[in-house]
Amino acid sequence: MSTVSPLSQIIQLKPIFHQKIWGGRRLETVFGYDIPEGKIGECWAISAHPNGDCLIEAGPGMGGTLSKLWAAQRDTLFAGATGDRFPLLIKILDADGDLSIQVHPDDAYATEHENGSLGKRECWYVLDCEPGATIIVGQRAHNRAELAEMIEGGRWSELLNEVPIHKGDFFQIDPGTVHAIKAGTLILETQQSSDVTYRVYDYDRLGDDGKPRPLHIQQSLDVVDYDQVAPTSGTVTAPEVDGVTGLESNSCYTVDRVRVSGIKNLEQHWPFLCLSVIDGAGEVCGLPVAKGKHLLVPATVDQVELAGDMELIVSHL
């Protein structure tokens, strides 16, 4: 058992906010974040990616960035982890408008074509959505030629698999999945630390420069998984056991929903835990937390004590 104080080892990060053409203001009004002016679509809450490297506000490495901490102390703080970069990225997305129809590559394609980047496997937990909201996950073309023909003909309603969504739904988005978050949706996203996106369609919108945003049709045709079976629902069917519901587990991450009413201890067996409080308030190892707080718990903490009345999304390798 470690003799260090768990509280002293918890890493608190300063979120990074990104303006998006489809963004809104709910990161401020729902979560209380101090966000810049304009359409803010993404909160990068736990990230060491070059496009958003979080500053450490408290804990090991305070004053530096997460990427620097990973480089300097990976083998001690994050024992058991491998790789030259922190592997996950935790976001909250506020879609006031529709996101582009898009697809992400796997590791092999991204390494070869995107300067050694990781691919982008991700998953979505629906934090909230407007009545009647939908999401796009999957497409109906059987092969590259058919997909190219449907894109060229603008046959979007025929091509895309659109699914009704509700608060608490969950979707796993593997590389090769055509997808789009649509207007009126708040999402917590757990993903590989990658920022590679191939746009298939962008509703003919103009970017900040007054020109259409670039599309990536050839790359999209390359990476789409034509054998994938599209979902019909995001309803979580896994059982809740002692407050914990397993949402997804794959080679890149495991994601659980954790509900706390009173006191609950989580054993820490992994290089790190990413904790995101999505509702309620309480304490993590004695640290007061509330909705919108994100913490990174390294391997030097053996057990995470949760107290209060709250709901979290917890992820690890």
As averages over each run of 10 residues, the pLDDT of the chain (317 residues) reads 79 98 97 97 98 98 98 97 96 98 98 97 98 98 98 97 98 98 98 98 89 95 97 98 98 98 96 98 98 98 97 98
Here the tokens at position 32 are: 């209380």
Same-fold call for 11-223 versus 244-316: yes
- Domain 244-316 matching CATH 2.120.10.80: the answer reads no
> In 3-state terms, what secondary structure has residue 165?
coil
Q: Are 196 and 110 in contact (CB under 8 A)?
A: yes
Q: Where are the domains of the chain?
A: 11-223, 244-316
φ, ψ dihedrals at 287, nearest 5°: -90, 120
Q: Are 33 and 94 in contact (CB under 8 A)?
A: no
Fold observed for domain 11-223: Jelly Rolls (2.60.120)
Distance CA 100, CA 48 (A): 25
What is the predicted pLDDT for the residue at 1? 44
CA atoms within 13 A on the CB side of 217: 11
> Can you point out the beta strands (E) in 47-121?
48-49, 52-53, 55-58, 88-95, 101-103
As annotated, the active-site residues are 199
Distance CA 179, CA 269 (A): 33
What is the predicted pLDDT for the residue at 3? 60
What is the predicted pLDDT for the residue at 4? 73
Does this model's pTM top 0.75? My answer is yes
What is the predicted pLDDT for the residue at 206? 86
Q: Are 315 and 274 in contact (CB under 8 A)?
A: yes
